[in-house]
Amino acid sequence: MKNDTFNDDISRIIKALDLYRDRFKNAVILITGATGHIGTALIHALSALDSLDLKIIAHGRDALKIDRLCARYRINSITGDIREPIPPEKLPSELDYIIHAAGITKSREMITNPVDVITTAIDGTRNILELAHVKRAKSVVYLSSMEVYGRMYRSAESCANPVHTEGRSRIQAACLHEREVTERDLGFIDLSDPRSCYPESKRMCENLCVCYNLQYGVPVKIARLAQSFGAGTPKDDTRVFAQFARSVINKNPIILHTEGISRGNYCYLADTVHALLTLLLNGSDGEAYNISSTSATIREMADMLADKYGLSVIIDKDKEGGYAPDTNIRLNADKIQKLGWRPRYSLIEMYERLIADWDNEET
């Protein structure tokens, strides 16, 4: 299997982190959610930090996947449900760093198993924060989501008297105005909607992080992630960007299962990994950081690819999809850029490198 594009990305990350190599020397780092695409990419990057005697411990609940991952990278593994505390005997006496990437992120599971989404998030995060407290970890990063922002409105007046738009609800119409959000902003989450299990539990986990930092001094940082994709993303990913990429590769029409008015925020996978490691080493304890490089509506993204690759766009609505509510926010990433992080690739370049990577896997 070829991974030339992905390996090129990892080499760039290692070069960017060269200034901080000594901080990883002889360190122990735990990655939860290790078999997810961000967890795997993190392990790939950290494994490339040669000659540092860095000890990586990968935690995941799928025994087969975690064993394959650890055999590939020759690292240590722990299999288990993150909702249960990690047995102390499975960990070394010292634990320097933790990146907590475990969680349920598939939209359909948020509809069919919302209780599991909540308990995995909250119980898992508390277990990790307790572990960090007991082990006196030097730094912890919690992977949150841009979904914590909920739905933003133009103003309080527009919530009460939203603009009417044909074919859309009053709340949707009030959301259509694009709004840039910083880490200090917060919007509305509908607690009567089971799909809210994901963003609301992420909010609670963020508050847990802040409270553990205040009460116990746990040095935790919060990463509010945009959707991350690029070289290294699994070919079986089911999210919209992956569906679009498969359409390009197979020369099929791009199919939209919604009107495509919702604005997504995106970051190239390697750029996200670089941001997380930057945050781990240089972020401020108890604070949240947006990690994003670009934004576009679903329809804008579909049209961009259709124009470049000569494809058509078809709307075939999926009423059972469990998609997040339509929003039109654009994440402001100034805060993490002040730490020295800069994204590298545009949206079309992200697709080009993703498609090149998937094509290489087939050769």
The answer, yes or no, to whether residue 162 has pLDDT greater than 80, is no
Question: Quick one: pLDDT at residue 362?
Answer: 59
Q: DSSP H helical segments within the chain, as ranges?
A: 4-16, 37-47, 63-73, 107-112, 114-135, 156-160, 170-175, 197-216, 240-250, 269-282, 298-309, 334-337, 347-361
Taking only the tens place, the pLDDT of each residue in 169-216 is 444 444 456 789 999 999 999 999 999 999 999 999 999 999 999 999
The answer, yes or no, to whether residue 332 has pLDDT greater than 50, is yes
Hunting for tokens 């058509």 — which residue is that? 312
Taking only the tens place, the pLDDT of each residue in 254-276 is 999 888 888 999 999 999 999 99
For the ranges 11-15, 102-106, 301-305, the lowest mean pLDDT is seen at 11-15
Instruction: Report DSSP state, residue 86.
Output: P
For the ranges 51-60, 268-277, 298-307, the lowest mean pLDDT is seen at 51-60
Question: Quick one: pLDDT at residue 163?
Answer: 42
> Would you call 61 helix, strand, or coil by DSSP?
coil
Question: Quick one: pLDDT at residue 177?
Answer: 65
Question: Quick one: pLDDT at residue 169?
Answer: 47
Distance separating alpha carbons of residues 97 and 171, to the nearest angstrom: 42
Long-range contacts of 15-18 (CB under 8 A, 24+ apart): 16/274, 17/49, 17/274, 17/277, 17/278
Q: Mean pLDDT across the chain, nearest whole number?
A: 89
The answer, yes or no, to whether residue 316 has pLDDT greater than 90, is no
Contacts of 144 (CB under 8 A, 6+ apart): 202, 205, 206, 222, 223, 224, 225, 288
Taking only the tens place, the pLDDT of each residue in 244-257 is 999 999 999 999 98
For the ranges 98-102, 127-131, 174-178, 225-229, the lowest mean pLDDT is seen at 174-178
The answer, yes or no, to whether residue 138 has pLDDT greater than 70, is yes
Q: Which CATH architecture has domain 4-361?
A: 3-Layer(aba) Sandwich (3.40)
For the ranges 65-69, 150-154, 206-210, 218-222, the lowest mean pLDDT is seen at 150-154
The answer, yes or no, to whether residue 88 has pLDDT greater than 90, is no
Residue type, 111: I
**Domain segments of the chain: what residues?**
4-361
* pLDDT top residue among 20 and 161: 20
